[in-house]
Amino acid sequence: MRAQIKTSIRMVSTLLVLPLWLAYRGLSYIGNQDSVFQTASQLLSLIPGKPGIYLRASFYSLACPDTSSEISIGFLTVLSHWDTTIERGVYVGPQCNIGKCFIGKNTLLGSGVHVLSGSKQHEFNDPQRPIQDQGGTFTKIRIGRDCWLGNTSVVMNNIGDHSIVAAGAVVTREIPPGCIVAGNPAKKVRSRFSEQPSGSQGEKAN
């Protein structure tokens, strides 16, 4: 019965966001698609409570490729790029900023997490030109399945399945599967599949 109720609510939410999605699709043909998407995301981020969670999930499942409607996106969380994929069971806490990325099934993001679209969004090699005029490259970051990203962590590189990122950590290098990392820049503390801390004599080689 509970599953049926949730399915009915998702159907109603989809009908409610359909006009916004149609407006987004129409405006994307005459303007920058990411800019139009960001506007819709900012608008939806302001809706509090359960209604906001369902409406955001419905919109993103329509607007973003291969994105599930069975996700939870928190209050004041904004997605910056339409080319973002969020799999079923993902929880994204409030006040997050999500760039171009793939987030795997059953992954949890705490409050205030920032997922950047790679580490090369802004070039700065020419000191004679303003940084904003030098361009950059957006990369689709992959966050694996069954991961947990702590509050205010910053992600600029891929994270393997089953990994944990401590609160406030800054991920600048790719994290292998099953790692627990902390610090700035984030470094391995230990493996989730081993009880031995990193660097101890009893730890097995990777």
pLDDT in tens, 95-152: 999 999 999 999 999 999 999 986 656 566 767 677 666 666 778 999 999 999 999 9
Ordered mean pLDDT values, 10 residues apiece, the chain (206 residues): 84 95 95 94 97 97 96 97 97 97 97 85 67 72 97 97 97 96 95 65 41
101: left (phi over 0), alpha (psi -120 to 50) or beta: beta
Residue 201 lies in a domain: no
Res 202: pLDDT: 43
Residue 155 lies in a domain: yes
d(CA 200, CA 205): 11
Residue 32 lies in a domain: yes
- Start-to-end CA distance of the chain, whole Å, equals 46
Res 196: pLDDT: 52
The pTM is what? 0.86
Give the count of domains, the chain.
1
Residue 200 lies in a domain: no
Residue 204 lies in a domain: no
Residue 84 lies in a domain: yes
Residue 158's domain is classified under what CATH number? 2.160.10.10
Q: Are 94 and 45 in contact (CB under 8 A)?
A: no
d(CA 99, CA 140): 8
Residue 110 lies in a domain: yes
Task: Note down the domain range covering 19.
Answer: 2-191
Q: Three-state DSSP class for 5?
A: helix
